[in-house]
């Protein structure tokens, strides 16, 4: 029993151990950032690698906690993302006066996400969702001297409190209507009565809020712009990935009987999200805001695959999130290096970047190509599988709308690429030397962007996990 | 031989060379990149020879077509996947050896020829890329893979033709080659799509099995469907052949090949003589069972396109004065031979002689044509000109080049016992048995071949005494001579390979025998051609001019390549441009752009309007949030149940 417990909950336990280690370092004599940061990076790497060994499937605490090989793989993706962020934002992290706290918060949020993905019960889900949110709001405030950072934190905590209220309302209604909150028992009780639909809509909006699906997305841009880049990338990649995982498994497993309803809901919201996300992204001048809106549009594409209600949809989403981790983190990584060294975040200032910083330009260009879905980058394969999964429902006009939106998004991604390679600039960004660990992370991301697509066994592996 | 990964190393090694030299060549291997590229290729060639030995030394009487190694690249569904594989059968193994050997020779030769070139590492990177693509092409186990490598080969050819990118004519030639072959490839792609649609597979083995057995449903549906009077299968095969004809410079898609000679000469030897241009022949040979068993009509088209190309190119070659262009047209003519040899062949046993002959000729042609180009390179290197009038009397200055060039000329002219004799005899024999008309065309062409090759030979090495200006330098270093000698040995001796034992339509060995009575006529014609060339060009006389004057109309139109280029220009510039291009441009500017601008402007307007939503006030966000919840709830509870 104890053995099962230790192995099944290994991801959570490892993260907890690292968390406590940091706590002891903090309340003890403390450590200089120069020594602490590499230590944390190594620990996170170990945490990531450990995720591949001693895995088991099973259920704990009478269904409160479940683990399958797919869930373990999803947790590994999140671990990878956290490790890459710790490398990419090294410059910024080193200057932070409260480094241990930052990682304690980040790991708490990660812990929350792990429990959330593994949750087998609405109560467990709610608790872990809060654990995954509140620390991030604190992290958003980490640029302590900047007002905009506090504003971001404030907006985030207020908005999520609002969303949580509606979520709790939905859970209560659902319990009232069905008499259970266990994921395993819920499907049998769902009959599509108006009360249940209402409860489901409330529950659904909580997911939609976290995934920044239109019209629940309004907090996103402000929070992304105000937060430090490390937090923005955490929010847009790790947070979104984890919510997408639990969202898809809730829809497929728990709300399967209500498929007719949520399918329509997803179609409506996916189109709204892709269109609005694209329209906003077109106009953005700030690189962080730009990435925020483009990530909203990306979620729209994820919804296309989710709508398929098939194993192919799940594998396509997991595969896409993996690619998205590489591509988006590479983009944020370059933005972080530039913003940290020069303070520039405006897209116009990226003009002529190629002249002075060819390496950064190539990485950013590859990342943008991958986000736009240009072959042969991995992003192309990711989008391809998303759309083919969506097409299994034979709603071809829906897939066509998605494809058209891909073309629009191509325009604004390429706009930046053109600015970097072709446009002239009187005051170009000077030659920058990114931190070695940041460079390592950018190389990992680049390799990921190229190889994840070309090596087909990655996708096959994900399909087999299903 | 079971699934063995090492075979896949044959193309992967040059790829590694390309990546290494392409990324780091200019910064780290400025001077050593040639050696590095050559070493990669040496390893690859050694492996290829080993594979060939392993494959052919087996005791089996029937040589199988087997998939040695396969890797699923993209799995779309349980039935549809795209694989990358290695297909081993007699022709692919033979091509592996030919490609790696010729490529190795060219790599070595370029060590001397391209020395001191500013973009030396880039050159070797491109050569490696080409070798990789070509090897990938010949090993392809399915239609999709062959298409990918087909395009890659086209790209690397484009890069190499345009290698001297500051020379406008080279850039124009590269563009021309690319556009013409792209146009042909469009047909190829459509053909692949049609063929795979009917057969339900991309894989060669399955495809050939399905499309050749009369009982299969796939074949029945492909034959019975009809479009514009031709069956679906005929359309597919003809379109695929169109792709092959584009790459192999068959009439009327040959116009890019002579211009492609703007590339460095070793490149012409490798790509535009020995390897890439035979890809079209290889493609037809790859699908030969389908052609021969299920659709003889398409095969007849192949035969006639080949025969017409062979004779037209030979006539043009007699009048050109640029030595590389003569060689280019002779290549086109020889490929015509290979094409019609396939065209007149049938499937199985003795009737499949044409197929064996075609592949045999491909093999020997690679040797002597590469040799001719490399020899021409040495000559050009020496006199700094491509024009025949600047040459003459070079035999004393370039002894090794002279001898090897002579060997190659004898080989291509079909004089025994040199390599070309054996393969050309087989081709003629096959044509004689199956299609008398083509046989006579081929005989005439083979006489012309001897004439124009010796015209070239005498003009370069004999004729007037050499008048050289500037300081004299040697023949070129060891690096340039070694490939000439090795290829010379190949051109002299390759004919003695018992080729029919290894390559035949159905995989069972085929005895080839030389019939003296039959050979007498072609050889005699060859000798006549040589003597005529000797009479005209051994000494500087005015005989050629007189002859040209008496045949002036034929000479003029042949000299201008039968005005085919002008015809293309007329069609594209005058007809297409005025009748299609202009109206399309107007439509594009006024209607499409107008619509696009409208969409763009309205998008901007909408985007500007909804920007107000993003006010920055949290309380408003909450209102919208709530609004969203209520709308969804109302929508799904009351409206959309």
Determine which of A192, A275, A279, A358 to mutate to test the interface with B (most B C-beta atoms within 10 Å): A279
Residue B117 has pLDDT above 50, yes or no: yes
Dihedral sign, CA of B257, B413, B462, B312? Answer: negative
Residue A68 has pLDDT above 60, yes or no: yes
The answer to whether B477 contacts chain A (CB < 8 Å) is: no
Tokens of B606: 């909408």
Which residues, 6 or more positions from A300, have their beta carbon under 8 angstroms from its beta carbon?
A213, A270, A271, A272, A273, A274, A275, A277, A402, A405
Please judge whether A282 and B624 are an interchain contact, meaning their C-beta atoms are less than 8 angstroms apart: no
**What confidence score (pLDDT) does residue B1 get?**
42
Cβ B417 vs Cβ B493: under 8 Å = no
Residue from the list B73, B606, B622 with its beta carbon closest to the beta carbon of A279: B606
The answer to whether A6 contacts chain B (CB < 8 Å) is: no
The angle, 0 to 180 degrees and rounded to 10, between the axes of the packed helices A311-342 and A436-454 is 150
- pLDDT tens across A294-320, in order? 888 899 999 999 998 888 889 999 999
Residue A169 has pLDDT above 90, yes or no: yes
CA dihedral B415, B416, B422, B426 (to 10 degrees): 70
Determine which of B636, B640, B641 to mutate to test the interface with A (most A C-beta atoms within 10 Å): B636
Residue from the list A159, A264, A282 with its beta carbon closest to the beta carbon of B640: A264
Nearest-angstrom CA–CA distance, A455 and A369:
18
Q: Which residues partner with B82 through β-bridges?
A: B74
Separation in Å, CA of B531 to nearest CA in chain A: 58
Which residues, 6 or more positions from A269, have their beta carbon under 8 angstroms from its beta carbon?
A208, A213, A214, A303
How confident is residue A339, by pLDDT bands cut at 50, 70 and 90? Answer: confident
Nearest-angstrom CA–CA distance, B51 and B57:
10
Cβ A373 vs Cβ A413: under 8 Å = no
Which helix (H) or strand (E) segment holds residue A65: the answer is: strand A65-67
State how far Cα A77 lies from the chain centre: 10
Which residues, 6 or more positions from B159, have their beta carbon under 8 angstroms from its beta carbon?
B126, B129, B174
Contacts of B74 in chain A (CB under 8 A): 381, 456
Q: Which residues partner with B203 through β-bridges?
A: B142
The answer to whether B76 contacts chain A (CB < 8 Å) is: yes
CA-nearest residue to B614 within chain A is A218
Please judge whether B632 and A264 are an interchain contact, meaning their C-beta atoms are less than 8 angstroms apart: no
Mean pLDDT of A77-96: 90
Contacts of B621 in chain A (CB under 8 A): 155, 159, 218-219
Residue A126 has pLDDT above 90, yes or no: yes
Residue from the list A154, A201, A456 with its beta carbon closest to the beta carbon of B632: A201
Tokens of A68: 């399958």
Cβ B547 vs Cβ B532: under 8 Å = no
Contacts of B636 in chain A (CB under 8 A): 197, 201, 261, 264-265
Please judge whether B610 and A163 are an interchain contact, meaning their C-beta atoms are less than 8 angstroms apart: no
Tokens of B371: 């040799």
Nearest-angstrom CA–CA distance, B33 and B181:
30
Residue from the list A197, A459, A463 with its beta carbon closest to the beta carbon of B637: A197
Contacts of B616 in chain A (CB under 8 A): 222
- Strands B66-75, B81-88: pairing is antiparallel
Please judge whether B636 and A201 are an interchain contact, meaning their C-beta atoms are less than 8 angstroms apart: yes
Please judge whether B73 and A456 are an interchain contact, meaning their C-beta atoms are less than 8 angstroms apart: yes
Contacts of B606 in chain A (CB under 8 A): 279
Which residues, 6 or more positions from B522, have their beta carbon under 8 angstroms from its beta carbon?
B414, B424, B425, B428, B443, B446
Q: Please tell me what DSSP assigns to residue B570.
A: I
How confident is residue A74, by pLDDT bands cut at 50, 70 and 90? Answer: very high
Cβ A183 vs Cβ B610: under 8 Å = no
**What confidence score (pLDDT) does residue B585 get?**
75
Residue from the list B75, B616, B636 with its beta carbon closest to the beta carbon of A460: B75
**What confidence score (pLDDT) does residue B521 get?**
82
Residue A323 has pLDDT above 90, yes or no: yes
Please judge whether A159 and B625 are an interchain contact, meaning their C-beta atoms are less than 8 angstroms apart: yes
How confident is residue B2, by pLDDT bands cut at 50, 70 and 90? Answer: very low
Determine which of B78, B596, B616, B625 to mutate to test the interface with A (most A C-beta atoms within 10 Å): B625
Which helix (H) or strand (E) segment holds residue A58: the answer is: strand A58-60
Separation in Å, CA of A399 to nearest CA in chain B: 17
Mean pLDDT of A19-48: 87
The answer to whether A279 contacts chain B (CB < 8 Å) is: yes
- pLDDT tens across B396-418, in order? 888 888 888 888 888 888 888 88
Query: Whole domain around residue A17: which residue ranges?
Result: 2-465
The answer to whether A215 contacts chain B (CB < 8 Å) is: yes
User: Percent of chain A, pLDDT > 90?
Assistant: 34
The answer to whether B640 contacts chain A (CB < 8 Å) is: yes
**What confidence score (pLDDT) does residue B490 get?**
85
Contacts of B608 in chain A (CB under 8 A): 283
**What confidence score (pLDDT) does residue B78 get?**
66
Please judge whether B618 and A209 are an interchain contact, meaning their C-beta atoms are less than 8 angstroms apart: no
Specify the residue for token string 């190119």.
B313
Residue from the list A205, A221, A222 with its beta carbon closest to the beta carbon of B629: A205
**What confidence score (pLDDT) does residue B474 get?**
66
Residue A40 has pLDDT above 50, yes or no: yes
Residue B19 has pLDDT above 80, yes or no: yes
CA-wise closest residue to A278 among A381, A401, A393: A401
The answer to whether A456 contacts chain B (CB < 8 Å) is: yes
- pLDDT tens across B221-258, in order? 777 777 777 788 888 889 999 988 888 888 888 888 88
Residue from the list B74, B603, B625 with its beta carbon closest to the beta carbon of A216: B625
How many beta-carbon pairs under 8 angstroms link A with B? 87
Residue A144 has pLDDT above 70, yes or no: yes
**What confidence score (pLDDT) does residue A135 get?**
93
Separation in Å, CA of A249 to nearest CA in chain B: 21
Residue from the list B618, B629, B637 with its beta carbon closest to the beta carbon of A158: B618
Count of structural domains within chain A: 1
How confident is residue B468, by pLDDT bands cut at 50, 70 and 90? Answer: low
Window from A187-196, A209-218, B553-562 with minimum mean pLDDT = B553-562
Please judge whether A280 and B636 are an interchain contact, meaning their C-beta atoms are less than 8 angstroms apart: no
Nearest-angstrom CA–CA distance, B209 and B200:
12
The answer to whether B60 contacts chain A (CB < 8 Å) is: no
- Strands B230-231, B81-88: pairing is unpaired
Tokens of A38: 């590499």
Mean pLDDT of A78-99: 89
The answer to whether A316 contacts chain B (CB < 8 Å) is: no
- Cα distances (angstroms) measured from residue B217 to each of A279, B78, B143, B212: 51, 21, 20, 11
Residue B355 has pLDDT above 60, yes or no: yes
The answer to whether A216 contacts chain B (CB < 8 Å) is: yes
- pLDDT tens across A378-435, in order? 999 999 889 888 888 877 888 888 888 888 888 888 888 888 888 887 777 888 888 8
**What confidence score (pLDDT) does residue B472 get?**
59
Please judge whether A283 and B603 are an interchain contact, meaning their C-beta atoms are less than 8 angstroms apart: no
**3-class secondary-structure state, position A121:** strand
Task: Give the angle subtended at the CA of A187 by the CAs of A183 and A190, to the nearest 5°.
Answer: 125
Residue A203 has pLDDT above 50, yes or no: yes
Please judge whether B627 and A158 are an interchain contact, meaning their C-beta atoms are less than 8 angstroms apart: no
CA-wise closest residue to B311 among B454, B447, B431, B459: B447
Mean pLDDT of B460-489: 75
Please judge whether A222 and B616 are an interchain contact, meaning their C-beta atoms are less than 8 angstroms apart: yes
**What confidence score (pLDDT) does residue A247 get?**
93
Nearest-angstrom CA–CA distance, B531 and B455:
10
Residue from the list B620, B628, B637 with its beta carbon closest to the beta carbon of A194: B637
- pTM for the full predicted model: 0.69
Mean pLDDT of B271-297: 86
How confident is residue B79, by pLDDT bands cut at 50, 70 and 90? Answer: low
Please judge whether B633 and A215 are an interchain contact, meaning their C-beta atoms are less than 8 angstroms apart: no
Contacts of A216 in chain B (CB under 8 A): 624-625, 628
**What confidence score (pLDDT) does residue A108 get?**
95
| A-contacting residues in B 562-621 (Cβ below 8 Å) | 603-604, 606-608, 610-611, 613-614, 616, 618, 620-621
- pLDDT tens across B414-445, in order? 888 888 888 888 888 888 888 888 888 888 89
The answer to whether A403 contacts chain B (CB < 8 Å) is: no
How confident is residue B579, by pLDDT bands cut at 50, 70 and 90? Answer: confident
Residue A172 has pLDDT above 90, yes or no: yes
**What confidence score (pLDDT) does residue A170 get?**
92
Contacts of A202 in chain B (CB under 8 A): 629, 633
């Amino acid at each position: 029993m104890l053995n099962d417990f230790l192995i099944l909950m290994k991801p959570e336990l490892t993260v907890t151990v690292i968390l406590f280690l940091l706590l002891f370092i903090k309340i003890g004599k403390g450590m200089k950032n120069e020594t602490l940061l590499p230590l944390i990076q190594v620990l996170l790497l170990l945490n990531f690698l450990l995720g591949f060994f001693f895995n088991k499937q099973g259920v704990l605490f009478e269904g409160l906690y479940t683990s399958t090989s797919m869930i373990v793989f999803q947790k590994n993706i999140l671990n990878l993302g956290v490790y890459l962020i710790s490398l990419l934002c090294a410059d910024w992290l080193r200057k932070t006066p409260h480094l241990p706290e930052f990682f304690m918060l980040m790991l708490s949020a990660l812990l929350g996400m792990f429990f959330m993905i593994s949750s087998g019960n609405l109560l467990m889900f709610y608790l872990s969702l809060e654990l995954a949110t509140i620390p991030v709001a604190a992290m958003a405030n980490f640029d302590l001297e900047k007002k905009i950072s506090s504003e971001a934190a404030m907006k985030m905590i207020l908005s999520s409190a609002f969303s949580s209220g509606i979520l709790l309302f939905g859970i209560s209604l659902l319990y009232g209507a069905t008499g259970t909150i266990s994921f395993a028992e819920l499907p049998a009780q769902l009959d599509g009565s108006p009360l249940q639909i209402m409860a489901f809509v409330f529950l659904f909006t909580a997911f939609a809020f976290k995934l920044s699906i239109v019209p629940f997305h309004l907090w996103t841009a402000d929070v992304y712009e105000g937060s430090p880049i490390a937090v923005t990338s955490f929010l847009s990649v790790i947070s979104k990935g984890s919510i997408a995982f639990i969202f898809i498994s809730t829809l497929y497993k728990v709300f399967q009987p209500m498929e007719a309803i949520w399918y329509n809901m997803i179609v409506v919201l996916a189109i709204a999200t892709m269109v609005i996300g694209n329209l906003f992204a077109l106009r953005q001048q700030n690189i962080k805001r730009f990435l925020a809106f483009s990530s909203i549009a990306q979620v729209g594409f994820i919804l296309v695959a989710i709508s398929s209600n098939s194993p192919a949809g799940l594998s396509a989403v997991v595969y896409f999130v993996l690619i998205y981790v590489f591509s988006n983190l590479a983009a944020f990584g370059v933005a972080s290096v530039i913003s940290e060294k020069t303070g520039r975040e405006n897209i116009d200032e990226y003009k002529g970047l190629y002249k002075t910083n060819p390496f950064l330009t190539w990485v950013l260009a590859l990342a943008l190509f991958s986000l736009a879905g240009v072959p042969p980058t991995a992003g192309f394969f990711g989008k391809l599988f998303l759309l083919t999964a969506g097409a299994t429902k034979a709603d071809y006009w829906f897939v066509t709308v998605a494809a058209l939106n891909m073309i629009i998004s191509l325009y604004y991604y390429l706009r930046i690429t053109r600015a970097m390679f072709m446009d002239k600039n009187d005051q170009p960004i000077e030659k920058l030397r990114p931190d070695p660990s940041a460079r390592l992370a950018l190389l990992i991301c680049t390799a990921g962007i190229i190889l994840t697509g070309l090596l087909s066994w990655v996708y096959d592996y994900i399909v087999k996990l299903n | 031989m079971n699934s063995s990964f090492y075979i896949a190393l044959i193309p992967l090694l040059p790829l590694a060379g390309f990546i290494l030299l392409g990324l780091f060549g200019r910064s780290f291997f400025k001077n050593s990149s040639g050696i590095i590229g050559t070493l990669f290729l040496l390893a690859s060639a050694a492996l290829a020879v080993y594979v060939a030995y392993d494959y052919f030394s087996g005791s089996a009487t029937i040589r199988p077509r087997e998939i040695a190694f396969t890797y699923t690249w993209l799995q779309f569904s349980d039935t549809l996947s795209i694989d990358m594989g290695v297909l081993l059968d007699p022709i692919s193994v033979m091509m592996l050896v030919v490609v790696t050997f010729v490529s190795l020779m060219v790599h070595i030769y370029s060590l001397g020829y391209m020395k001191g070139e500013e973009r030396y590492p880039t050159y070797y990177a491109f050569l490696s890329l080409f070798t990789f693509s070509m090897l990938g092409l010949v090993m392809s186990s399915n239609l999709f893979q062959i298409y990918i490598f087909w395009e890659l080969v086209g790209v690397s050819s484009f890069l190499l033709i345009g290698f001297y990118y500051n020379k406008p004519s080279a850039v124009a030639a590269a563009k021309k080659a690319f556009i013409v072959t792209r146009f042909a490839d469009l047909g190829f792609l459509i053909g692949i799509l049609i063929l795979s649609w009917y057969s339900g597979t991309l894989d060669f083995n399955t495809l050939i099995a399905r499309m050749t057995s009369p009982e299969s449903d796939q074949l029945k549906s492909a034959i019975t469907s009809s479009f514009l009077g031709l069956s679906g299968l005929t359309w597919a095969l003809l379109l695929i052949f169109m792709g092959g004809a584009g790459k192999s410079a068959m009439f009327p898609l040959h116009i890019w090949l002579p211009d492609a000679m703007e590339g460095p000469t070793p490149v012409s030897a490798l790509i535009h003589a020995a390897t890439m241009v035979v890809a079209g022949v290889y493609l037809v040979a790859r699908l030969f069972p389908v052609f021969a068993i299920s659709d003889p009509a398409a095969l007849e088209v192949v035969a006639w396109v080949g025969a017409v190309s062979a004779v037209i190119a030979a006539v043009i070659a007699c009048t050109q004065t640029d030595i590389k262009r003569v060689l280019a047209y002779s290549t086109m003519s020889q490929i015509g031979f290979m094409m019609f040899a396939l065209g007149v062949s049938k499937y199985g046993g003795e009737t499949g002689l044409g197929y064996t002959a075609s592949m045999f000729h491909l093999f020997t042609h690679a040797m002597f044509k590469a040799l001719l180009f490399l020899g021409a390179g040495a000559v050009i290197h020496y006199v700094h000109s491509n024009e025949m009038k600047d040459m003459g009397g070079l035999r004393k200055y370039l002894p090794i080049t002279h001898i090897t060039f002579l060997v190659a000329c004898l080989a291509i002219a079909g004089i025994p016992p040199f390599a070309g004799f054996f393969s050309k005899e087989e081709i003629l024999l096959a044509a004689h048995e199956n299609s008398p008309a083509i046989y006579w065309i081929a005989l005439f062409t083979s006489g012309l071949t001897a004439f124009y090759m010796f015209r070239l030979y005498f003009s370069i090495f004999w004729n007037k005494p050499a008048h050289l200006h500037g300081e004299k330098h040697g023949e070129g270093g060891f690096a340039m001579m070694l490939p000439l000698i090795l290829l010379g040995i190949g051109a002299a001796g390759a004919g003695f390979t018992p080729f029919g034992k290894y390559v035949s339509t159905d995989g069972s060995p085929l005895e080839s025998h030389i019939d003296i009575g039959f050979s007498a006529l072609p050889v005699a014609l060859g000798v006549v051609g040589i003597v005529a060339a000797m009479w005209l060009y051994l000494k500087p006389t005015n005989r050629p001019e007189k002859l040209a004057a008496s045949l002036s109309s034929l000479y003029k139109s042949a000299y201008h390549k039968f005005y085919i280029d002008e015809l293309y220009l007329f069609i594209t510039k005058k007809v297409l441009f005025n009748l299609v291009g202009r109206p399309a441009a107007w439509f594009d500017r006024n209607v499409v752009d107008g619509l696009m601008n409208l969409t763009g402007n309205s998008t901007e307007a909408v985007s500007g309007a909804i920007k107000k939503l993003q006010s920055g006030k949290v309380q408003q966000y909450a209102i919208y949030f709530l609004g969203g919840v209520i709308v969804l709830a109302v929508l799904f509870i009351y409206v959309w149940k």
